[in-house]
Amino acid sequence: MIVGVIGKPNTGKTTFFNAATLSHAPMASYPFTTINPNVGIAYLRVDCVHKELGVKDNPVNSICINGTRLIPVELVDVAGLVPDAWKGRGLGNKFLDDVRRADALIHVVDASGGTDEEGRIVALGTHDPLLDVDFIEREFDLWLLQIVKRDWQRISRTAEAGTEKISSMIAERLSGLSITEKQIIESMDALKLIREKPTLWTEEDLFNLCRSIRNTSKPMIIAANKADLSTSAKNIERLKVKKRLVIPCAAEAELLLRRATEKGLVEYIPGDSSFRIVNPDKLTSEQKKAFDLVNDKVFKAYGNTGVQQIINSAYFDLLKSIVVYPVEDEKKLSDKTGRVLPDAYVMREGSTARDLAYKIHTDLGEGFLYAIDAKKGTRLSADYILEDKDVIKIVSTAKRG
């Protein structure tokens, strides 16, 4: 699973990305700072299962800080999108190409209204961010439409002649975009498009189909960024009217805190609702001022910076993920070197014990015999549907390398 960070230029996408991944990709207050995509590792924040099991853990693929497990997930930050990008304007199709693999999207909006639709700086509060939500979604849909429409006459006729299904031909067109044929069929049915008669579908039908496919295959959350600025609060309330998942966000504040944590200046776990300055006497007056501002404009106003909440929400609310802990020794809850609860895997709801085996290693999946629920000590079959916080041992004919 991979989550993409999108939006018009200059909204703070790279700032969000750097904060979430502790990277150092270039950020600046002008449009098109980012050209090539930045790919990095962000973390999901969950309560670690070790607490309820009453053991001490020793993570390998993730981190555990005082019962908070941080699990790595992939994040990609791409170039800004301007109106008519689908036709190639700005960095155009490149943006869309770079985000094709994403399973969900974080739309970073400049909630302060201080940048126009091309990302140029304007007086605070003079641009309406609600317009950005519409245009970004529309660009995406028009881009999809352009791909689906390519060769449409031939495709629709072939489908009508009964040689091949229209859904599989559209799926083929959209291959590499992390869109499944099942999602396409669901969208066609929801729109009551007659599968056997695609030559009768209008341009509007096709546009609506693309919109519906995008909605299911690339669910979106709105990061209402620059929440620290004075004009943002009102716009954040207005954004909620759009019936999207909206979370206030202060990417710059999060970045400041994470960098300060790295340097040992503050104690802060991403997602916390406060931070602690380790040694106030050691701060310069400028640093003090910056932390005071973050406290006032972000933590007191919104409770947290929103960055961690947005990443969690993308994985748990949009992608319906669960966290599963595979172990090799179901008694000691460890791997074979004795590390307790070494790994935490993020999986889609509905995944089975066999899916987990395959995720660990193809050989383990192929040689799957049964699984063991390490909490209950019971045997599980291949098609057992995993639950959040399951601790699972896979028994397989294949030995793990």
Ligand X SMILES: Nc1nc2c(ncn2[C@@H]2O[C@H](COP(=O)(O)OP(=O)(O)OP(=O)(O)O)[C@@H](O)[C@H]2O)c(=O)[nH]1
Sign of CA dihedral 40, 220, 70, 355: negative
Rounded to 5°, the CA angle 248-249-255 comes to 165
Q: Which is nearer to ligand X, 31 or 342 (CB)?
A: 31
Rg (alpha carbons) of the chain, rounded to whole number: 23
Check residue 29 and give left, alpha or beta (phi > 0: left; psi -120 to 50: alpha).
Answer: alpha
Give the H or E element holding residue 122: none
* Smallest separation (angstroms) from Mg ion to the CB of 11: 9
The stretches of 174-284 forming alpha helices (DSSP H) are 181-190, 203-217, 232-240, 251-262
Residue 107 lies near ligand X (rule: CB under 6 A): no
Residue 263 tokens, joined: 């340097």
Within 33-62, the residues that bind Mg ion by CB under 5 A are: 33-34
Of 3, 6, 12, 145, the one binding ligand X by CB under 6 A: 12
3-state DSSP helix/strand/coil % of the chain, to nearest 5: 40, 20, 40
Q: Which is nearer to ligand X, 169 or 307 (CB)?
A: 307
The count of chain residues that interact with Mg ion, using the rule CB under 5 A, is 4
- 62 is in the binding site of which of ligand X, Mg ion, none (Cβ under 5 to 8 A by kind)? none
* Smallest separation (angstroms) from ligand X to the CB of 75: 13
Residue 10 lies near ligand X (rule: CB under 6 A): yes
Give the H or E element holding residue 156: helix 152-160
Q: Which is nearer to ligand X, 16 or 201 (CB)?
A: 16
Q: Which is nearer to ligand X, 38 or 334 (CB)?
A: 38
* Smallest separation (angstroms) from ligand X to the CB of 11: 4
Strand boundaries in 254-302, DSSP class E: 266-267, 276-277
Which of these segments, 13-21, 47-55, 61-69, 184-192, binds Mg ion (CB under 5 A)?
A: 13-21
Within 233-262, the residues that bind ligand X by CB under 6 A are: 250-253
Give the H or E element holding residue 141: helix 129-149
Within 330-369, the residues that bind ligand X by CB under 6 A are: none
Within 17-36, the residues that bind Mg ion by CB under 5 A are: 33-34
Of 28, 60, 190, 191, the one binding ligand X by CB under 6 A: 28
Residue 11 lies near ligand X (rule: CB under 6 A): yes
Helix axes 181-190, 166-173, angle to 10 degrees: 120
* Smallest separation (angstroms) from Mg ion to the CB of 134: 21
Within 216-235, the residues that bind ligand X by CB under 6 A are: 225-226, 228-229
Residue 33 lies near ligand X (rule: CB under 6 A): yes
Buried b (16+ CB within 10 A) or exposed e, 189-213: eeeebeeeebeebeeebbbbbbbbb
Rounded Cα distance between 38 and 273, Å, is 28
Residue 13 lies near ligand X (rule: CB under 6 A): yes
Binding residues for Mg ion (CB under 5 A): 13-14, 33-34
Binding residues for ligand X (CB under 6 A): 7, 9-15, 27-29, 31-34, 80, 225-226, 228-229, 250-253
